[in-house]
Amino acid sequence: MKVLKSKFAAFLCLVALAGCNNPSSIKIVTNSDSSKVVSPSGSVGEAKPDSAAMVDLITELYTGYVFGENGLDKEAVDRFCTKRMAQKLQDDYEFDDPDGYAVWDFRTKSQESQAGDGLKEVLRVYDNVFTAVIVDNGVKADVSLYIAYENGAYKIDAVDVRCEEKCSYCNGTKEVNCPSCNGEGFIYTPDAEHGRDWGHACFDCNGRGYGHKSGNDGNPLTLGKGKVPCYACVKEIAVEVPQASALDCMASVSPEFEKKLLGQHGVRLQWVSDTKLGHVTISKTKEGVYKCVGGQDGVGNDDYLKIDGEIKVVNAQHLLFNGTVECRVSHIYKGKPYVRKGVMDFLNTKGRKFWRLQQMDNGSCVDYVDIYM
């Protein structure tokens, strides 16, 4: 659907809907004395905008058909929609019924209704442009509607649904329990000397504390929140990563930072081992290219992480990596190797002691590939 643009310069008035199923309770505030109703398709009606009639049209459609029991047949579509909108509803209908209409075009993708769903408010934006505020399977959405005047009646000529779908895994919080510590923020690594509750704070969710669970000072240990980014939302989160190109990279790296960059660094993927680091070596070729090669092996299994590529420095916090990051973990991705190729970003954030790969999604969960400073 094309985003409706031309009428949204300002919200000059609002229509308050005190009772969404009762059109008579809607208060209309007129802000324009326009003599014509213009539709997105460019057709012009000869009627002066009648806000009350338009709100009644929207309210009846949503309460009686979109969220109601009435079927959206040809007679109803002809009454509520322009010919252009009716054709779109017919084109969007996905089933083998020549008389079917896509009533879901007026809703979100969440089509399973639950208690409390329905039309909540109708807002008049400008002249013949309205917003229907709906809740659909618990998802709130703003539906923009253009009203045109066709064959002596007000009809809907275009619709645009905008909402932020709630993730089914994290319910919109974008966080889930850390799989490394099961949300506890603490990794147990007991030994004979220190006892069964000995361990360390979980690296993956930034758990705090050290030593044993009671704390080295004898007081209860303050743990991290035990949450990590939801793997179903990680692509959305990754959008916030600054996208760099070779043009953004430093023409020359300072001797101080180069000394910090070159040499052997610890590396880990939490699924391979959370306690035994692997190593990568960053070296400089005769041509002045920084090579990064190495990996991490699993403990007592065939799991591994392999890194092979070149690094360009954007700044001290951002390394632009071009190459291959390959891993294999027995219980992830059906135990098959998962390979990322191309340009990727390693960032140092929140004062951590490592650069973390930002392309985290491996198709089924979140990978934390960290190169330690």
The single-letter code of the amino acid at 231 is Y
The alpha carbons of the chain give a radius of gyration, in whole angstroms, of 29
- Phi/psi of residue 314, each to 5°? -80, -50
Task: Output the pLDDT for position 190.
Answer: 67
Element containing residue 257 per DSSP (H, E) = helix 255-261
169 in Cβ contact with 230 (< 8 Å): yes
Judged against a pLDDT cut of 90, whether residue 264 lies above it is answered with yes
Displacement of CA 196 from its chain's centroid (Å): 40
Task: Output the pLDDT for position 187.
Answer: 74
Higher local confidence (pLDDT), 65 or 1? 65
Displacement of CA 115 from its chain's centroid (Å): 25
Mean pLDDT of 297-314: 92
Task: Output the pLDDT for position 137.
Answer: 77
- Confidence class for position 7, pLDDT limits 50, 70, 90: very low
Pair of tokens at residue 177: 């329990």
Q: What is the dihedral of CA 163, 168, 172, 178, to 10 degrees?
A: -160
pLDDT in tens, 138-175: 778 888 888 888 888 899 988 888 876 667 667 767 77
**pTM for the model:** 0.43
290 in Cβ contact with 308 (< 8 Å): no
Higher local confidence (pLDDT), 262 or 335? 262
Judged against a pLDDT cut of 90, whether residue 267 lies above it is answered with yes
Task: Output the pLDDT for position 197.
Answer: 64
Residues 6 or more apart whose CB falls under 8 angstroms from that of 369 comprise 267, 268, 269, 305, 307, 325, 327, 356, 357, 360
- Confidence class for position 124, pLDDT limits 50, 70, 90: confident
Domains of the chain, first to last = 16-163 (3.10.450), 167-240 (no CATH), 243-372 (2.40.128)
Mean pLDDT of 184-197: 70
Task: Output the pLDDT for position 11.
Answer: 27
Q: What is the overall mean pLDDT for the chain?
A: 75
Highest-pLDDT range among 46-60, 91-105, 228-242: 91-105
